[in-house]
């Protein structure tokens, strides 16, 4: 373990409240591609051209083809050691009641859930829930035909698209946890997608230390108290002990 990793482990173990903030990078070693960086492309399209309300209005079948492909891909992936370490830290904190570990994720995969994490603040929704694009019917579990059981209209993926507001209650829950934590542990997110990135600034403004694990450059590099360059699987399990 490097000196920085040891310092990070100590900060995490000493904190009464921890916010773990994850992005696509935490799932990269499970085989889920990130959008930015190598291997994130689908056919000739960019996510920015498909993950928008406009793209869906223009061609729902094309957008669904992309989401069906992503669902199939995620379904074949398994949670990795970083997802498991986070879930274990949450379980341990629940047992002692002496500390809280709040997981806030931008991911739309279900790998944190499958690793056993509970009470996840999901800022960008889920790949595995649909919503009716026509009527006010709420979330429905993934439908193959993509038609609403209530009105027969198009369902859409229950994810937040570019330019859309975050799900009600989720950003509030994240900000509240951020303001009360002593350590904000950021794993595998470039910080390019705003409002979500504001969580880290909220935490730091309220006095929290910021620890960042990512093999590449991130928007948090200049504000991180501890910057660990490396992959989630190689670094997270070592420093996030059950405390």
Write b or e for each residue in 187-206: b if 16 or more Cβ atoms lie within 10 A of its Cβ, otherwise e.
bbbbbebeebbebbebbbee
For residue 183, the partner it binds in Zn ion, ligand NAD, none, with Cβ less than 5 to 8 A by kind, is none
140 binding Zn ion? (CB under 5 A): no
Structure tokens at 164: 């859309």
Other Cβ atoms less than 10 A from the Cβ of 119: the count is 11
143 binding Zn ion? (CB under 5 A): no
Interstrand relation of 155-159 and 125-132 (parallel, antiparallel or unpaired): antiparallel
Structure tokens at 165: 């507001």
The residues of the shown chain that bind ligand NAD, judged by CB under 6 A, are 23-25, 27-29, 32, 34-37, 106-109, 124, 188-190, 192-193, 213-216, 218, 231-232
- Could you say which residues in the range 157-216 bind Zn ion, by CB under 5 A? none
Reference 50, options 38, 37, 61; nearest CA is 61
74 binding Zn ion? (CB under 5 A): no
Residues 39 and 27: their CA atoms lie apart, in Å, by 13
Closer residue to ligand NAD in complex, CB, 229/241: 229
Of 135, 139, 192, 205, which one interacts with Zn ion (CB under 5 A)?
A: 135
Q: Which of 83, 112, 124, 146 is catalytic?
A: 124
Is 124 considered catalytic here? yes
139 binding Zn ion? (CB under 5 A): no
For residue 190, the partner it binds in Zn ion, ligand NAD, none, with Cβ less than 5 to 8 A by kind, is ligand NAD
For residue 110, the partner it binds in Zn ion, ligand NAD, none, with Cβ less than 5 to 8 A by kind, is none
Distances (CA, A) of 7 to 2, 60, 133, 237: 9, 49, 48, 14
Structure tokens at 193: 């997608």
Catalytic (active-site) positions: 124
Interacting residue ranges for Zn ion, rule: CB under 5 A:
132, 134-135, 137, 148, 150-151, 153
């Amino acid at each position: 373990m490097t000196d920085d990793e040891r310092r990070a482990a100590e900060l995490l173990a000493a904190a009464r409240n921890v916010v773990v903030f994850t992005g696509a990078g935490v799932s990269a070693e499970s085989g889920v591609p990130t959008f930015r960086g190598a291997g994130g492309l689908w056919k000739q399209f960019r996510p920015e051209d498909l993950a928008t309300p406009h793209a869906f209005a223009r061609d729902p079948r094309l957008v669904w083809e992309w989401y069906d492909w992503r669902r199939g891909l995620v379904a074949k992936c398994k949670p990795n050691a970083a997802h498991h370490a986070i879930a274990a830290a949450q379980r341990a904190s629940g047992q002692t009641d002496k500390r809280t570990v709040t997981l806030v994720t931008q991911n739309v995969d279900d790998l944190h859930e499958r690793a056993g994490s509970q009470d996840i603040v999901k800022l960008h929704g889920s790949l595995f829930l649909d919503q009716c694009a026509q009527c006010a019917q709420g979330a429905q579990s993934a439908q193959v035909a993509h038609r609403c059981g209530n009105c027969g209209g198009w369902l859409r993926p229950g994810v937040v698209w570019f330019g859309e507001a975050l799900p009600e209650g989720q950003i509030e829950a994240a900000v509240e946890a951020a303001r009360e934590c002593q350590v904000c542990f950021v794993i595998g997110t470039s910080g390019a997608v705003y409002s979500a990135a504001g969580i880290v600034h909220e935490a730091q403004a309220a006095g929290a230390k910021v620890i960042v694990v990512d093999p590449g450059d991130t928007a948090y590099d200049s504000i991180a108290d501890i910057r660990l360059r490396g992959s989630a699987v190689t670094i997270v399990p070592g420093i996030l002990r059950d405390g």
